[in-house]
Structure 1
Amino acid sequence: MSRFQVKKVAVLGAGVMGAQIAAHLVNVKVPVVLFDLPAKDGSKNGIVIKAIDGLKKLKPAPLGVAEDAALIGQANYEEHLEQLRDCDLIIEAIAERMDWKLDLYKKIAPFIAPHAIVASNTSGLSITKLSEALPEEIKPRFCGIHFFNPPRYMYLVELIATPTTEPQILDDLETFVTSGLGKGVVRAKDTPNFIANRVGIAGMLATMKEVENFGLSYDVVDDLTGKKLGRASSGTFRTADVVGLDTMAHVIKTLQDNLDEKSDPFYASFGTPEVLKTLLEMGNLGQKTKAGFYKKVGRDVLRFDLAEKDYVPGGQKADEVYARMLKKPAGQRLKLLRESEGAQGRFLWAILRNSFHYAAVHLGDIAETARDVDFAMRWGFGMKQGPFELWQEAGWLEVATMIQEDIAAGKALSSAPLPEWVFKGPVAEAGGVHTPQGSWNPTAGRFEARRVLPVYERQHFPENVLGSQAPDFRSAGKTVHEDDAVRLWTLDDEVLIASIKTKMHAISPDVCEGLTLAVETAEKDYQGLVVWSGDEPFSVGADLQAILPAFMVVGVSAVEDAEGFMQATMLRLRYASVPVVSAIRGMALGGGCELAVYSARRVVAMESYIGLVEVGVGLVPGAGGLTYIARRAAENSAASTDRDLLKFVTEGFTAAAMAKVGTSALESRKLGYLLDSDIIVPNKDELLFVALNEAKALFRAGYRAPHKRQFPVGGRSAKATIQGQLVNMRDGGFISAHDFHIASLIANVVAGGDVDANTLVSEEYLMTLERRAFCELVQHPRTQERILGMLNTGKPVRN
C-alpha cells in the first residue's frame, strides 16, 4: 500500500458539511482541527465552538459518541494558520462561492506542508478553476473531494482531478478515503455537479416534470419511487425535504449556470419547477424548517398542494397493480410499465426511460466508465441498482429500441439520439456495459476493469455491478460443510469461516449445531474460526419462529432444551482452543449480541448496532447475555480502583432492562458489548480481511482460551437495591407491571440470585437462572402477546 500517511487533517469551514466531516474524522480516530473565520465577539474560535456544540444535537448523529466532539481541534484563520504545517490533508469546505474559496487559498498557501494534499469539498464548482489560485508547487497536490450529506452515513465520495493533479496524489487520497474513512470512491470528471448530483438532480427534475405531465400527487409518487422501485425509502419528494430545498435549488442553479442547450441536450428540462420556487418563496425549505413538500401537524403528515398553495391531507398510496408489476423480472417489468394504460405505470416507465437516456448521452462527459455512474447512484442516492445495471438486466438492445422509439415519437425529454455505441460494437455484442472484463469506457472505446490499488486487496468481496460476474461469497472458496443453516468454508486453508444462512441470520437450533461443528472442525484443522455471514445483519437473535412450534406441541421443556443448547454453544465458542472472531456488520441483537460477546474477539464495522433487546418481546436474554453482564461486572470491578461491584452490575442491568442498543460501534463499546481490544473497521468491505488476519495473529501469538473460573456477584443486597428503583418506576407509572416483572427477573440473574454479596459463582450457575427466567416468561400471557405482535407486525407491543 502507499506509504502516504494521514496523521492529521485540517478542515476549513465549520458549516454543516465541514463540521460533520470533522466529526467523521474523529469517529475513525484521525486527529482533526476545524477552522473558520474569527468571531467578532467573545472567543476568536466562537464560530467553530458553536459548530462543534451543534454536532451533539444533530440527527442523525454525526458522532459515534457525542462526547468525542471535544476531540475536534478549534482554530481560526487569524491566529492559527501555523497549525496547517502539521497537516497531511487539508479539506476546504467553505460556502460554494468561487471568490471566497480563491481568497482563502491565497491566505493558506504559505502554510501548507510540502507533502500535504489539498482538496476542495464542493458539489459542483470547477476544480480546475479553483486550482488556478494556488501556487505552482501546490497545484499537483490539489484535487476535488465531494462528500455526500451526512458524511458519516453516506458511502459515496467523489474524487476529481485537475489537468495538473499528480496521479499518485489521487491514488493516495483514494487509499485513505477508502480504508481510513470507510467510503466508496468514484473518480468523476470535472464537469458541473460531477456524477451523482448531475445524474441524480437531473433525474429529480425530470421526475417533477413527469409528475406535472401525469397529474400525480407527491405522496403517490414517493410511494412509487421508493422501495418499490429499488430506491431510497424516502422516494423523490421526501428525499428533497431531507436534503433541503435550498440545497437542491443551489445544485439546480449550478446546472443552469454552467450548462446550455449545446453542452446538455436536456437543458430545457432544468428550469426550476414552479412548486420549488413557491416553497422557497414561502421559506419552506424541507425538514430543516419542518415544512417543504410535506408538513407534519401532530401525528398527521400533510402534503403541499401547488394549486391551493397550502397543505392538504396526505398519505395516498400507489395502486397495488403497479407494486405487483415492479416485482416482475426486469425485462417484463419495463415492458408492462411502458404498455400500461394507467398514469402511474406510464409515469414509472417515463422516469426510468429518462434516466437511461440521460446516463447514456452523458456517460463520456462525466465519468470514466459506466461502473462509476452505477456506483455513484447506488452509493449517493440509495438506489439498489444504477441505471445501466437495470437497463442491462432488462435486455440491453430491447430496452434501447424502446427508448429510441420514444425519442423518435417525441415522448422523451430530449430529441438527442442514444449514442452509437449503444447499438453497435462491443456493448451491443456483450449485451450491456458491464462484463467480466470490465465496464464500458466510451471515450477509450473499451471495457475497463476496476482500478488496481493495494488498498483493494483488503476487500475480498467488494460491491460489484451486475454483469461483472465477480466472485460471490455464497459460493467462493472451499466448502467444508454446508446445510440449510450454515456454510463452513475457507479462503486459504488457514482459518475456517462460518456463514449463517437463515433469514436475517437468526440463530436456530440448527445454527447452533452448525456453530458447534465449526468449532470442532477449526480446533482440528485450522488456526481459528471467523463468524461472518457476508451481508447485513450479523444476526437479529434467536429464531423464535423455529422454537415456538416445539413449545406449542411439547411445552416449556422444548424451550428449555433449546435455550440450554444455545447456552452450551456460546460456552463452546468462548472456550474453544482456537480463537473465534465475530465479524460484525449491521445489527447484532439479542442472540446475535450474545454470539458476539462469547467470541474471543470482535471485528466490527463502524455502522453496527449491538444490544440485548429481548425485553421488547417480553423476554430476558437467555443464551448467556445476562451471565456475560454479571461476569463483566466482576472483571471491571476487579480492574477498577472503585471496587463497588453494585455500580458495574447496575450499568449492565440498565443496558439489558432498557434494551439499549449501541447506535455505532463506538457507542456499543461504551455499553460494554465491545472491549478496547476489539477492532472497529471503517470500511464494511474490509471486515472479512481484518477478521481473518486477527484470527491468524491471535493463533500465532500463542492463543489460549480463558480459564474457566468462578467470580463474585452482587447477591441479594444488589438485587434489593435495583428492585427498589424498579418499584419507584412502576409506582410512578414509568413502567408497566409486566415490565417490572421482566426487569426483576433480569436483576435476579445479574445479581446472582438469592446469595450473599461477593459469593463466587460459575457461568453455568448463572445460565441456569437465565433459563428459568426465560422459560417462566415464555409461558406468561403478556409475553406471548408481545412475541406474536412482533412476529405479525414487526413492532413492539406495550402491555
Structure 2
Amino acid sequence: MSESKFIVRKVAVLGAGVMGAQIAAHLVNAKVPTILFDLPAREGDKNGIVKKAIDGLKKQKPSPLAGKGLEQYIQPANYEEHLHLLKDCDLVIEAIAERIDWKADLYHKVAPHLGERTIFATNTSGLSINTLAEACPEGVRPRFCGVHFFNPPRYMHLVEIIPCASSDAAMLDHLERFLVSTLGKGVIRAKDTPNFVANRIGVFSMLATIANAEKFGIRFDVVDDLTGPRLGRPKSATFRTADVVGLDTFAHVVKTMQDTLPDDPWHGLFKSPEWLQKLIAAGALGAKTKAGIYKKDGKQMFVVDPAKGDYVGAGEKGDDAVKDILKIADPAEKFRKLRESEHPQAQFLWACFRDVFHYIGYHLADIANSARDVDFAIRWGFGWSVGPFETWQAAGWQQVARWVDEDVKAGKALASANLPAWVLEADRVGVHFADGSFDAASGKRVGRSTLDVYARQLAPARVLGEASAPLGETVFENDGVRAFSTGDEVLVVSFKSKAHAIGPDVLDGLNTALDIAEARFKGLVIWQTEEPFSVGADLASMMPAFMMGDWDAIDATVRRFQQTSMRLRYSQVPTVAATQGYAFGGGCEFAMHCDKVVAALESYVGLVEVGVGLLPGGGGCKEFALRAAQEARGDILPALKDYFMAVATAKVATSAVEAQEIGYFRKTDTVVFNAYELLYVAKQQALAMAEAGYRPPLKVKGFPVAGRAGAASIKGQLLNMLEGRFISEYDFTIASLIADVMTGGDVEAGTEVDEQWILDLERKGFMQLLKNGKTQDRIANMLTTGKPLRN
C-alpha cells in the first residue's frame, strides 16, 4: 500500500504584507481556498489590515490575480479571533517581516492550533531555517521547513524549499508536488545557508556589477543598457531591478549577507554603498515610491550619479564597439574579445562575469546540491535566459577557468580566494552532463529529481549539456512544422517559424498533419517547444504578393487559413491547442476552432488584427457571431456586443482565466499552472475524447444573426466614441466593417445564415482593408518598428 496522498483543501497565510497577500492571491488563482491573517486593527473592524491588503490586490499591475472577483476567496482573519481556523488548514505559510524574534513569537502563538498533519512553512528570503525551527514546539518540527517565493509570486517561476535538520522527507515531497503541479512552480531544494541559492548568487552578481561600475567609471544607465537583454537578462537589467525589488528590500538582503557571512572571502563587498543609504534615508525606495536610482519628472527620466551626488538626465547607451562584441554568437570568442579589449565598458563586462564565475566556483560545494540548481535558481528567480554555470561551460570551461585564475592571482578580482581544485582539473569540460550535474560537496554527478510529479513534464526545463534531442519521433516535417509522436497515438504539431507566425508553410504542414492524424492517430495536439503559442498570421510572407498587387494570391491564402480553422473544428480526430505566452490573431483563431484548449495560466490571448488595420480573417469574427447566437436567449445583440468590443479594441486577456471571461476560450477549457505540464495534459485530453468515441461536431445548418439593425446599433456607439475622440476616423472605418461582418451583413435581424456566409464576409472585409493605404501604413509600421500605428 503506497502512502496516502496529501490533499490541500485549504491554506492559511500568516502576514498580509506585499508577499503574504500576493502568495494568497496566487493560491486562489489555483482554486485553493485561503485564509489571510494579520494583526487585529487597533480601531474599527479587527480584520481591517487584511481587508485593505486584499483590496490592494485589485489595483496592482501586473495583476497578482488571474481573474475577476478571485479576491473574494481570500478569507480575512486576525490572530486575536481566528487562530482556531488553522486546524482545518493542510498548509500554513508564515510570511511576516524578516525578524527571527517576531517569527519565533508567532510560532509559539499558532503552534497549538495547527492540525496534526499540517505542513508549516516559513517564507523567508534568507534567515536560517534551523534557527527558526528551534522556535517551534518539538512536535511541529518534522512538519516545518523554509519555502521562498520570489516576487511577484504569480509570475516568478522559482520557489526554493529549504529543509531543516528535522524536516520529514515525505512532507517535503508532498509540499514539492503541490508547489510544482498546483501552483505551477519550478522548485529547487536549497541548503540552509544565508540567502539560500538564488538570492545569494543573484544579489552577489548585482553587488559585483555595482562595484565594477564604480571601478571602471560606468554610468548606471549605461550599465543597465549593457547588462539587460544584450546579456539575455531582463529589461530591468541591474539598477532598474533594484528599483523594482525596492531599495530597502535589496539593502535588507545585503545586510543579511553582511551579518551572517563573516567568513565569506567577499565579505567586504556585502554592504550598501553610501549613495544607496542616502536614497533610502530620503525615502526614495524605488518603483513603489516613484523615485529610487531612477526617477521620472514629467516625460524626462533621471538617474543617480554617485560622483555628482545627484540625479542627471538618463538615457545614455553602451558604446557601439562593445555592443558589437556582445552580438558575437560564439561565447568563447565573445569572452576573449571582452577580456582583450581596452574599452572600459568591455573590461567592466568581463569583470562582472569573472567575479560571478569566481564566486559560484568557490561556493558551489557549500550553497547548492548541484550546479543545475544554481543555473535554474538564477534563470527562474532572476530571469537570466542562460544560467552562470551554463554560460561558463558554453564558453569553454578550461579557458575561462584559466582566465579567472590568472585574474585572481594578478589581484584583479574582487576577492583573492583561490579557485577550488575541482574547477581547475585538467580534464574538466564543465558541470552539466547527459547523466547529471556536478555536486561539488560529494564530487559526484546528480541526476534529476525522480519525484512522480516530474513524470508529467514531457519537455522539462533543460540545462546546457543535458540530452537535448528533439522530443518524440518525427512523423512528418516541412519548412513550417514538425509533427511527432511520443508513442501514445497522439500526433503533436509544433511550428518552426519565427514567433510561430502562420504562413503558407505552416498552413500546408498543419493540413498534412491533420491528414496523417486522421489516417493513423487518435488525436492531434498543437504545442510549441517554447513560447509564444503564435503571434498570428505571417504578414511578412504576404509582402511579395502585396507589392505586386497580386490580390488573388492573398485572397487564396486567407481562404486557406479559414479552411484550416474549419478543419481543426470538423476533423475526424479530436484537436487540442496547448497555449502559453502570446496567442494572437490567427493563433487565437486556431485555438478557438480546436475541440479543446489546454492553456498555461500565463497565456496572453487576443484577436489583435485592428492594430495592423485589419479584421480577424481566419474565422474569429465568424466564431464570435456563432457563439453569440448559441448563447443568446432571444436577443443576440447583448451577447454579440461584448464580443464585438473585444475584437474592435483588440482586447488582450492577461491570463488564461481572463481569456475564458472574455470568451476567447470556453469555460470548459482547461487551465494548467505549470507550463511544463501542458503537453502531458493536452495529450491526455485528446486521448480522453478519443476513448469516449469522438465524433466531430455536426455542421451548423443555420444560426440567427443580428443583421442590419444590430450593425446600426453598434455603429451608433462607435459614433459616440469617434465624437469623443476615443478612436480615430480610420478606427471607426475598421470597427464599422467588423460590425457589418459580425452581424451577418446586409440582412434582416434574425436571418439564419451558415458559417461559410460569415467566413465569406470576413474574407471580403479583410481584403477590402488590405487594399486601403492606411492599413498598408499600419502593417509597414508594425513590420519595421514592432509597434501599432494609430492613423
TM-score, shorter chain, exceeding 0.5 = yes
* Aligned counterparts of 1:293 and 1:94: Cα–Cα separation in 2: 27
**Structure 1, 653-662 or 317-326: larger mean CA deviation:** 317-326
Aligned to 1:402: 403
Aligned to 2:302: 302
Aligned to 1:338: 339
Aligned to 1:790: 782
The residue type paired with residue 716 of structure 2 is: G
Aligned to 2:725: 733
Deviations 1:677-720 (A, max 9, x none): 11100001000000000000011011221111111111111111
Q: Is the 8 A contact 1:48 1:75 kept in 2?
A: yes
**Structure 1, 687-696 or 501-510: larger mean CA deviation:** 501-510
**TM-score, normalization: structure 2?**
0.98
Q: Is the 8 A contact 1:610 1:663 kept in 2?
A: yes
Q: Is the 8 A contact 1:294 1:304 kept in 2?
A: yes
Deviations 1:160-205 (A, max 9, x none): 0000001111111111101110010011111111111111111111
* Aligned counterparts of 1:575 and 1:230: Cα–Cα separation in 2: 42
RMSD: 1.1
Aligned to 1:454: 452
Aligned to 1:393: 394
Report matched runs for 1:484-563 at 5 Å.
484-563=479-558
Structure 1 residue 430: Cα displacement: 4.3
Structure 1 residue 466: Cα displacement: 0.6
* Aligned counterparts of 1:507 and 1:204: Cα–Cα separation in 2: 40
The residue type paired with residue 796 of structure 1 is: P
Structure 1 residue 353: Cα displacement: 0.3
* Aligned counterparts of 1:434 and 1:723: Cα–Cα separation in 2: 61
Q: Is the 8 A contact 2:436 2:446 kept in 1?
A: yes
Aligned to 1:586: 581
Aligned to 1:185: 187
Aligned to 2:313: 313
Aligned to 2:704: 712
Report matched runs for 1:31-70 at 5 Å.
31-70=33-72
**Structure 1, 701-710 or 116-125: larger mean CA deviation:** 701-710
Q: Is the 8 A contact 2:68 2:658 kept in 1?
A: no
Structure 1 residue 365: Cα displacement: 1.2
Aligned to 1:208: 210
Deviations 1:471-512 (A, max 9, x none): 44xx22111110110111101140001111111111112211
Report matched runs for 1:666-705 at 5 Å.
666-705=657-696
Q: Secondary structure at the match of 1:44?
A: coil
- Which one of the candidate residues 631, 652, 656 is aligned to 1:661? 652
- Which one of the candidate residues 142, 145, 152 is aligned to 1:143? 145
Q: Secondary structure at the match of 1:568?
A: helix
Deviations 1:205-253 (A, max 9, x none): 1111111100110000001111111211111001111110000010011
Q: Is the 8 A contact 1:89 1:118 kept in 2?
A: yes
Q: Secondary structure at the match of 2:235?
A: coil
- Which one of the candidate residues 616, 622, 628 is aligned to 1:621? 616
User: Gaps (5+ residues) in structure 1?
Assistant: none
The residue type paired with residue 741 of structure 2 is: V
Report matched runs for 1:607-618 at 5 Å.
607-618=602-613
Structure 1 residue 635: Cα displacement: 1.3
Structure 1 residue 513: Cα displacement: 1.5
Q: Is the 8 A contact 1:325 1:333 kept in 2?
A: yes
The residue type paired with residue 739 of structure 2 is: A
Q: Secondary structure at the match of 1:11?
A: strand
Q: Is the 8 A contact 1:205 1:273 kept in 2?
A: no
Q: Is the 8 A contact 1:84 1:113 kept in 2?
A: yes
1:437 aligns with 2:428: no
Structure 1 residue 327: Cα displacement: 2.3
Q: Is the 8 A contact 1:610 1:662 kept in 2?
A: yes
Aligned to 2:465: 467
1:779 aligns with 2:771: yes
Structure 1 residue 733: Cα displacement: 1.7
Q: Secondary structure at the match of 2:458?
A: coil
* Aligned counterparts of 1:108 and 1:255: Cα–Cα separation in 2: 29
- Which one of the candidate residues 748, 758, 763 is aligned to 1:766? 758
Aligned to 2:239: 237
Deviations 1:523-580 (A, max 9, x none): 1111100001211110100111111211322532222111111001111110011100
* Aligned counterparts of 1:385 and 1:775: Cα–Cα separation in 2: 43
User: Gaps (5+ residues) in structure 2?
Assistant: none
Structure 1 residue 386: Cα displacement: 1.3
The residue type paired with residue 716 of structure 1 is: R
The residue type paired with residue 738 of structure 1 is: Y
* Aligned counterparts of 2:373 and 2:133: Cα–Cα separation in 1: 24
Report matched runs for 1:165-184 at 5 Å.
165-184=167-186
Q: Is the 8 A contact 1:121 1:145 kept in 2?
A: yes
Deviations 1:618-641 (A, max 9, x none): 000001000011001011115xxx
Structure 1 residue 309: Cα displacement: 2.8
The residue type paired with residue 741 of structure 1 is: T
- Which one of the candidate residues 578, 582, 600 is aligned to 2:595? 600
Identical amino acids, percent of aligned pairs: 56
* Aligned counterparts of 2:222 and 2:600: Cα–Cα separation in 1: 36
Q: Secondary structure at the match of 1:295?
A: strand
The residue type paired with residue 211 of structure 2 is: K
Q: Secondary structure at the match of 1:661?
A: coil
Give the total of aligned pairs.
787
* Aligned counterparts of 1:502 and 1:218: Cα–Cα separation in 2: 37
**Structure 1, 44-53 or 131-140: larger mean CA deviation:** 131-140
Q: Is the 8 A contact 1:551 1:557 kept in 2?
A: no
* Aligned counterparts of 2:448 and 2:107: Cα–Cα separation in 1: 33
The residue type paired with residue 394 of structure 2 is: E
- Which one of the candidate residues 729, 734, 739 is aligned to 1:742? 734
Aligned to 1:415: 416
**TM-score, normalization: structure 1?**
0.97
The residue type paired with residue 484 of structure 2 is: W
Q: Secondary structure at the match of 1:489?
A: strand
Deviations 1:562-616 (A, max 9, x none): 1111001111110011100000011000000000000000000000101100000
Instruction: Indicate how the Cα distance of structure 1 residues 794 and 46 shifts in structure 2: closer, same or farther if over 3 A, else same.
Output: same
